[in-house]
Chains A and B, each alone.
Chain A
Amino acid sequence: MFKFNVTSDACVKCGKCIPVCTIHKVNRDEVTSPRGFLDLLGAYQRGELELDKNAKNIFESCFLCTNCVDVCPNDLPVDMLIEQARNDIRKKFGLAWYKKLAFFLLRNRNIMDVLARFGYMFQTCGFKMVEKQSSMYLRNFPIIKMDRLFPSLAKKTFLNSHPDVIYNGGKGKVGIFIGCLANYMYTDIGKSLLEILKVLEIDAYLIKQQKCCGAPQYFTGDFDSVDYLAKFNIEYIEGFVNELDAIIIPEATCSAMIKADYVHFFHDQPEWQARAKAIAPHIFMATEYLEKKTNLAEILASKSRRSETITYHDPCHARKMQGVWKEPRNLLSKNYAMIEMSDPNRCCGFGGVTMQTGNYRFAKAAGLPKAAMIKETGAEYVSAECSACRMQLSDAMHGQKVDVVFKNPIELIAKALREG
């Protein structure tokens, strides 16, 4: 565990992190800024600040976008400290029932699969479907705000819809770690990825026993769950990783979690940290792998130019945590006209489970300028290789009546291949 006061003392208080901070942009107050968080955590460690309801609200207001880490002259890991503080909060206050339920289901995929099936059958009772965006919004429900857009459940999960291995000609073999949102909700992403691999004649190995990467639990401070899930996934992946060319993930958050955050999380468990480090070089975001390691760009260039326009949003977990931002643009621009929005690197405001529930007002406020800059481009699609960004941006655009459709770049690339 980190000593909060060590990092807090290392902060030179320059203030560079403040204007880039997503929550400070929404709530311009030093208590909800990276410099404030660090100082308050130091005070908490010294016993000067009690971890009361007020402090809990403060530490739960961080979006974990890591903009601050990016500009900090001392590279202070603000995000990791916040995650650890949330672990203390969870220990003191416990988790809300719906978070407990969600994290239980994410640990136990077989139960989740059955529930998802029921959910699919009955979701139309409570929600109005928006087919075009694989989304829905509430008809009437007591707790959740009306008119909020949610992803809808798929009829059959991605992993249960396909065999373990899909042989496409053996030019290569990659494992697919699909991630929960793309498995249960946005299943077109996986389908599209399989289409692309087929064209490339690369065999696809579905990593079927995968468990949730642990990101939602990490951001909420449920370290026990993270420990369990990360160890399970590392051990599981170790079993086959050397027989594959790579493991590809069409989701920024899952990829960043497995590639980078597992290493961070195990900073005080050296054996597990070493094992996390060993699998990290095999993990790629899907567009990163396809652009760097295959001839997809060449094949796309041979297909026709399309009339649709795309604006690309950079997920925090792709650009800032993994340095992936050129690759999806490079692939998409082969067939689509790209229009950059004014600040593609600005955080969408998803922020994790707590932000989307208890602090939804912050998420909503952070989403507003993003929806506005997407609208301003006049593009037909907004794309980002991240289904958390998709949930947040679709909801933000829905709230602002912005009629731009969100697609994962993998879906758009498959479309360009399919339609020639």
Chain B
Amino acid sequence: MEIKYINYFKNLLGSENVYDDKAHLIAYCYDATRTRYEPDAVLFPRDESDVSEILKYCNEHRIIITPRGAGSGFTGGALPANGGIILAFEKHMNKILEIDMENLVAVVQPGVINMHLQRTVEAQGLFYPPDPASEEYSTLGGNVSENAGGMRAAKYGITKDYVMALRAVLPNGEIIRAGKRTIKDVAGYNIAGIIIASEGTLACITEITLKLIAKPKMSQTAMGIFPSVEEAMNAVYKTMAAGVTPVAMEFLDNLSINAVEQKFNKGLPKDAGAILITDVDGNTQDELTQQLDIIEHAFLENGCSGFKRAGSVEESKNLWFARRNASQSITIYGSKKLNEDITVPRSKLPALLKAIGEVSKKYNVTVPCFGHTGDGNVHTNVMVDGSDPKQLEIGHVAIEEIFKATVALGGTLSGEHGIGLSKAPFMHLAFSEGEMELFRSIKKAFDPNNILNPAKMGL
């Protein structure tokens, strides 16, 4: 990066917040996709006005900017694919600004870690439900930008359901407010709605107002064993239709069960076609029991061969163990995991799993699946030998076919990871040329010079 730019930023932010040494360029070149693109500089803005000044200057000088939270994304949203500046929010803009107990609202800066907010509000009896698997380390700014989901989505929804308002900086440096601290707000376009899940391509979020709810007093876990995936999937949507909305309804297929078993030897049913793990919550034990009774009934009617309720926190943890450790266990099937988070309407789950089975057979690749069946979100993992380019290629072809099947079933390319770089080539499968053109027009309206996180989302 030209020295005059660096000097400008040092003057603006102080030299302790501007870096272009090799170590910083390396440390900010990756995220959880493990793809590498070195930026030209790393900036640590101290507040909204810093962000505004930086964007204004970059817009004038056509310098590319990529905002970054924790760098834990799975699709490359925070990767500086075309170089330029990494705008890192982790250093300064990481404070919870307000917890409004009267309106049940939290106001946070984008660098706050999800779990930090959860713990803080839970200490006051409140609840922030979105719980992506990265909750311990991902930031809320990243969560909003990718519209992160989580295990509790079946009952409580995802990040977008909790964003009430945003403050953000447009590429020209303009500070905008979108949304209100009100339940109802119908004035103007829903700009916050457009910025959510925009992966940092439209504006830099500088402040987030989130809805909170009262924390249910108790929860209970149960597990059901099924002879086949289809039966388990049927049980899922039958349960939902029976009038219970579990907090979570997660599944592991036979391959995933066996992977966990091989790695940890937990006494899981190795012959089972699938297991379902579910959580219900409420304020009294009766409420929990009632829900579990209905679930048990729906499970048993759909081929469930064993139903177990956890009697203690310890037992709950045990039941959840398999699901929590599935992702790392399936590496026994191949060094490289082509991991997708396709999502279909719940009723289409049996058809989707069947289609995945066929793709697996056709290309002779192992595809363990697990995930959030309660909301139709399946983590599909095409396992290949990462050192074999031929296998990698076959893997990618298999993925494309799975995407096609998903879209044909009315589903989406991504339930929670976003598009970023990894899924950009598949956008044409899910969107028409006219729809893609509309996306591009929106991007241009916000960012006419294309300085903000370009090359993402296949635009």
Instruction: Judge whether B307 is part of the interface by a CB distance below 8 angstroms.
Output: no
Task: Report Cα–Cα, A234/B27, bound state, in Å.
Answer: 40
Instruction: Judge whether A36 is part of the interface by a CB distance below 8 angstroms.
Output: yes
Instruction: Judge whether A92 is part of the interface by a CB distance below 8 angstroms.
Output: no
Report yes or no: B26 in contact with A29, Cβ–Cβ below 8 A. no
**Minimal Cβ-Cβ distance residue in A for B89:** A28
Report yes or no: A16 in contact with B136, Cβ–Cβ below 8 A. yes
- Assuming the contacts A15-B32, A15-B137, asked whether A49 and B26 have C-beta atoms less than 8 A apart, the reply is yes
Using a Cβ cutoff of 8 Å, how many contacts connect chains A and B? 70
Interface of A is mostly: loop
Task: Report Cα–Cα, A48/B134, bound state, in Å.
Answer: 30
Minimum Cβ distance to chain A for residue B110 (Å): 13
Minimum Cβ distance to chain B for residue A335 (Å): 30
Instruction: Judge whether A171 is part of the interface by a CB distance below 8 angstroms.
Output: no
Report yes or no: A19 in contact with B27, Cβ–Cβ below 8 A. no
Task: Report Cα–Cα, A93/B68, bound state, in Å.
Answer: 35
Minimum Cβ distance to chain B for residue A237 (Å): 36
- Point out the residues of chain A lying under 8 angstroms from B30, CB to CB: 13, 39
Which of the candidate stretches B16-24, B162-170, B405-413 sits at the interface with the other chain? B16-24
Instruction: Judge whether A40 is part of the interface by a CB distance below 8 angstroms.
Output: yes
Within 8 A of B (CB), among A1-53: 12-16, 18-19, 28-31, 33, 36, 39-40, 43, 48-50
Instruction: Judge whether B370 is part of the interface by a CB distance below 8 angstroms.
Output: no
Minimum Cβ distance to chain A for residue B203 (Å): 23
For B32, B44, B88, B138, the residue with the greatest tally of chain A CB atoms inside 10 Å of its CB is B32
Report yes or no: B23 in contact with A28, Cβ–Cβ below 8 A. no
Instruction: Judge whether A76 is part of the interface by a CB distance below 8 angstroms.
Output: no
**Minimal Cβ-Cβ distance residue in B for A74:** B328
Report yes or no: B94 in contact with A15, Cβ–Cβ below 8 A. no
Produce 1/0 per residue, A41-75, CB < 8 A to B: 00100001110001100100000000000000110
- Point out the residues of chain B lying under 8 angstroms from A50, CB to CB: 22
For B23, B31, B44, B328, the residue with the greatest tally of chain A CB atoms inside 10 Å of its CB is B23
- Point out the residues of chain B lying under 8 angstroms from A30, CB to CB: 24, 27-28, 71, 88, 90
- Point out the residues of chain B lying under 8 angstroms from A54, CB to CB: 21-23
Minimum Cβ distance to chain B for residue A47 (Å): 12
Minimum Cβ distance to chain A for residue B69 (Å): 10
Within 8 A of A (CB), among B7-39: 21-24, 26-28, 30-34
Task: Report Cα–Cα, A33/B24, bound state, in Å.
Answer: 12
Chain B residues within 8 Å of chain A by Cβ, number: 29
How many of chain A's residues touch chain B, expressed as a range? 20 to 34
Report yes or no: B113 in contact with A19, Cβ–Cβ below 8 A. yes
- Assuming the contacts A30-B90, A54-B21, asked whether A19 and B137 have C-beta atoms less than 8 A apart, the reply is yes
Report yes or no: A15 in contact with B138, Cβ–Cβ below 8 A. yes
Minimum Cβ distance to chain A for residue B331 (Å): 9
Minimum Cβ distance to chain B for residue A14 (Å): 6
Within 8 A of A (CB), among B133-165: 134, 136-138
Within 8 A of B (CB), among A227-250: none
Q: Which of B26, B31, B92 contacts A13 (CB 8 A)?
A: B31
For B27, B72, B88, B92, the residue with the greatest tally of chain A CB atoms inside 10 Å of its CB is B27
Instruction: Judge whether B91 is part of the interface by a CB distance below 8 angstroms.
Output: yes
Q: Which of B23, B71, B92 contacts A40 (CB 8 A)?
A: B23
Report yes or no: B134 in contact with A39, Cβ–Cβ below 8 A. no
Report yes or no: B26 in contact with A40, Cβ–Cβ below 8 A. yes
Task: Report Cα–Cα, A54/B19, bound state, in Å.
Answer: 12
Instruction: Judge whether B70 is part of the interface by a CB distance below 8 angstroms.
Output: yes
Report yes or no: A16 in contact with B137, Cβ–Cβ below 8 A. yes
Produce 1/0 per residue, A286-318, CB < 8 A to B: 000000000000000000000000000000000
- Point out the residues of chain A lying under 8 angstroms from B28, CB to CB: 30
- Point out the residues of chain B lying under 8 angstroms from A33, CB to CB: 27
Q: Which of A28, A39, A58, A74 contacts B90 (CB 8 A)?
A: A28
Report yes or no: B32 in contact with A39, Cβ–Cβ below 8 A. no
Q: Which of B22, B72, B88 contacts A15 (CB 8 A)?
A: B72
Within 8 A of A (CB), among B25-71: 26-28, 30-34, 44, 70-71
- Assuming the contacts A12-B34, A15-B32, A19-B137, asked whether A43 and B90 have C-beta atoms less than 8 A apart, the reply is no
Q: Which of B22, B33, B91, B137 contacts A49 (CB 8 A)?
A: B22
Task: Report Cα–Cα, A28/B71, bound state, in Å.
Answer: 13
Task: Report Cα–Cα, A74/B328, bound state, in Å.
Answer: 9
**Minimal Cβ-Cβ distance residue in B for A57:** B23
Report yes or no: A29 in contact with B71, Cβ–Cβ below 8 A. no
- Point out the residues of chain A lying under 8 angstroms from B94, CB to CB: 28
Report yes or no: A39 in contact with B26, Cβ–Cβ below 8 A. yes
Report yes or no: A31 in contact with B91, Cβ–Cβ below 8 A. no
Minimum Cβ distance to chain B for residue A394 (Å): 29
- Assuming the contacts A40-B27, A49-B23, A54-B21, asked whether A28 and B34 have C-beta atoms less than 8 A apart, the reply is no
Task: Report Cα–Cα, A40/B90, bound state, in Å.
Answer: 19
Task: Report Cα–Cα, A409/B415, bound state, in Å.
Answer: 52
Within 8 A of A (CB), among B91-106: 91-92, 94
Task: Report Cα–Cα, A36/B22, bound state, in Å.
Answer: 12
- Point out the residues of chain B lying under 8 angstroms from A73, CB to CB: 328
**Minimal Cβ-Cβ distance residue in A for B30:** A13
Report yes or no: B23 in contact with A12, Cβ–Cβ below 8 A. no
**Minimal Cβ-Cβ distance residue in A for B337:** A12
Minimum Cβ distance to chain B for residue A341 (Å): 16
**Minimal Cβ-Cβ distance residue in B for A42:** B26
**Minimal Cβ-Cβ distance residue in B for A24:** B90
Report yes or no: A15 in contact with B26, Cβ–Cβ below 8 A. no
A-B contact pairs, 11 of them (CB 8 A): A13-B34, A13-B72, A15-B70, A16-B137, A28-B90, A28-B94, A29-B27, A29-B90, A31-B23, A55-B23, A73-B328
The 6 closest A-B pairs by CB, nearest first: A15-B72, A36-B27, A30-B27, A31-B27, A28-B91, A15-B137
Known: A13-B72, A16-B137, A49-B22. 9 other contacts (CB 8 A): A13-B30, A13-B32, A15-B70, A18-B70, A19-B116, A29-B88, A30-B28, A31-B23, A55-B23
